[in-house]
Amino acid sequence: MNKHKITSPKTLSWIVIIYAIALHCIQYMAKRSLWADESVLALNIVDRSYLELLEPLDYNQGAPIGFLWIEKLSIQLLGNHEYALRLFPFLCGIASIFLFYDLAKRCLKNYGVPIALAFFATLEYLVYYITELKQYSSDVAVTLILALLTQDLLKRDLNFKNILTYSLIGAVMIWFSHPAVLVAGGFALFSLIKVWRNRNFEKLPKLLTVFTTWGISFLGFYFLSIQSLSNNETLKESWRSAFPSELTDINWLAEKWWKLFENPLGIREDYIWIAMVVFFIGVFSLFRRNRQTLAFLASPLLATILAAYLRQYPFRNRLLLFLTPFIVLLIAEGIHYVGRKTRHKLKAIPGILLFGVLFWIPLFQTTALFANPITREEIRPVIAYVKERQQPGDVLYIFQRGEYQFQYYAEKFGYEEGDYIVGVDDLEDGKEVSPPEWERYTQDLNALRGNSRVWLIFSHIDDVEEERDRVLGYIDSLGQKRDRYDAPGAFVLLYDFTANDETP
């Protein structure tokens, strides 16, 4: 293979693809413990039947019905463990790499394709969610499928077989992703405008048939699932800042657009302005080169912003992961444009430098994951440590923030209800310990006094430092610490609470 073939866009793209697949496989095989958010969704999936999964989920959770049913089928076929629960997000992540490659080849030219792939493959949050029991990885896959589906719809002659095929595929995709309707709606409007402007009136009713089928499918999905989710007061309160205060609130959009580049795009704060400039250079480049492609890529972005202003979809963090393919494509177009238009003999150098500035941090971070895969709240080895050393008469106390993680793993370690104590509920506002809350904590912990061996398991407690520090300090004042075992994001303490008879 000669030098030109090695550095060709196609070869570089496949190098990136192989890198990404290897990275995701290592993350998946690491089999980290389910953390708090995953465990509450897992309990819904494990404890409910298929029909019960159609009802509002417990613990203020929400996920598409298609996703939930695939997860239920996975644990029935493969067993109830992390590999089975994370298999579908993992497969969606792997599929997304190839789907994105196909879309990039249709939208970009030459080296713009491997540039886009390199960014997409090293997105911090996408790398993470590909191996998490959440629907955000499948959101990306569904979005890419709808994008490619729309482009094929516009290019092909629509006979009865094609209309039926595209109608069914799109209708099914709607049930696997909450934001799919935004993507489908944006693409549908783009397609109808394009066909109308091209005066291809013969194709118009055929497209309307496909899109109407998608819309009917969404209505069924909405009334069966989304409606109850949108009425959940706890979720509505947590999403409050994800909506503008009024329709004319432009400052909100500017702030959220900036934060979008930080999360879920994963651009470091010092480099966001560079990425933003490159993004708009990409917009300018496509506006001059191919306005239809620009309108195509912009349609789901604009649909999502409109939905946020109408308070129908929260514009926040991981809920926007599905938009990252379109933003990455525009950033890659901007970098490629800078390289093409630089008036210099070594015209590629500015583009390479720009690419390097934005790419070196995610490349360094993802490469480090080959040796040290992501961990979060490793409660499983903590429970195993206790199980191996627990003696008859020992008391096992679960600090309430790790309750649902422990419940998921309890049966696997032979624990039944009554074998352990779950602490009092967490903070009402999730931030500060009020006097009444502190009184509840102290009363709960005082009930452990008089026991010579008390195991206290903690997980998911780093978000509220005041609560953690005060609780641990109070526990230490009650008795003598005999043992401690730490894992990433979780730990267990063994205390003798007979050593100090005076209540602090």
Rounded Cα–Cα distance for residues 467 and 431 (Å): 8
Residue 371's CB is within 10 A of a number of other CB atoms, namely 7
Residue 327's CB is within 10 A of a number of other CB atoms, namely 20
Whether 275 shows a pLDDT value over 70: the answer reads: yes
Could you tell me the pLDDT band of residue 372, with boundaries at 50, 70 and 90? Answer: very high
Model pLDDT, residue 428:
62
Rounded Cα–Cα distance for residues 377 and 471 (Å): 19
Which backbone phi and psi does 448 adopt, to 5 degrees?
-85, -10
- Please compute the mean of the pLDDT values over residues 47-71 and round it to a whole number: 95
Rounded Cα–Cα distance for residues 128 and 233 (Å): 28
Residue 312's CB is within 10 A of a number of other CB atoms, namely 14
Strand pairing class (490-496; 480-487):
antiparallel
Closest CA to 294 of 286, 304, 285: 286
Dump pLDDT digits (tens) for 249-265.
999 999 999 999 999 99
Rounded Cα–Cα distance for residues 364 and 384 (Å): 33
Asked which of 33-37, 257-261, 427-431 is least confident by mean pLDDT, the reply is 427-431
Could you tell me the pLDDT band of residue 240, with boundaries at 50, 70 and 90? Answer: confident
Residue 16's CB is within 10 A of a number of other CB atoms, namely 22
- Please compute the mean of the pLDDT values over residues 66-75 and round it to a whole number: 98
Model pLDDT, residue 5:
73
Whether 151 shows a pLDDT value over 90: the answer reads: yes
Dump pLDDT digits (tens) for 95-138.
999 999 999 999 999 999 999 999 999 999 999 999 999 999 99
Rounded Cα–Cα distance for residues 473 and 476 (Å): 5
Longest dimension (CA), the chain: 88
Whether 178 shows a pLDDT value over 60: the answer reads: yes
449-463 burial: b if 16+ Cβ within 10 Å, else e: eebbbbbbbbbbbee
Model pLDDT, residue 229:
83
- Please compute the mean of the pLDDT values over residues 3-23 and round it to a whole number: 89
Model pLDDT, residue 503:
47
Say if residues 224 and 50 touch (Cβ distance below 8 Å): no
Selected residue with higher pLDDT from 435 and 41 = 41
Whether 351 shows a pLDDT value over 70: the answer reads: no
Say if residues 303 and 190 touch (Cβ distance below 8 Å): no
Give the end-to-end CA distance of the chain in Å, rounded to a whole number. 76
CB-based contacts of 128, cutoff 8 Å, min separation 6: 374
Whether 3 shows a pLDDT value over 80: the answer reads: no
Asked which of 157-171, 221-235, 394-408, 436-450 is least confident by mean pLDDT, the reply is 221-235
Whether 1 shows a pLDDT value over 60: the answer reads: no
Rounded to the nearest angstrom, the gap between the alpha carbon of residue 26 and the centroid of all alpha carbons in its chain is 18
Selected residue with higher pLDDT from 126 and 232 = 126
Model pLDDT, residue 430:
59
- Please compute the mean of the pLDDT values over residues 177-194 and round it to a whole number: 96
Model pLDDT, residue 239:
86
Could you tell me the pLDDT band of residue 504, with boundaries at 50, 70 and 90? Answer: very low
Residue 18 zone, left/alpha/beta (φ > 0; ψ -120 to 50; rest): alpha
Model pLDDT, residue 98:
98
Dump pLDDT digits (tens) for 466-475.
888 999 999 9
The H-or-E segment that residue 395 falls in is strand 395-398
Whether 201 shows a pLDDT value over 50: the answer reads: yes
Residue 271's CB is within 10 A of a number of other CB atoms, namely 16
The pTM score is 0.93
% of the chain at pLDDT higher than 70: 95
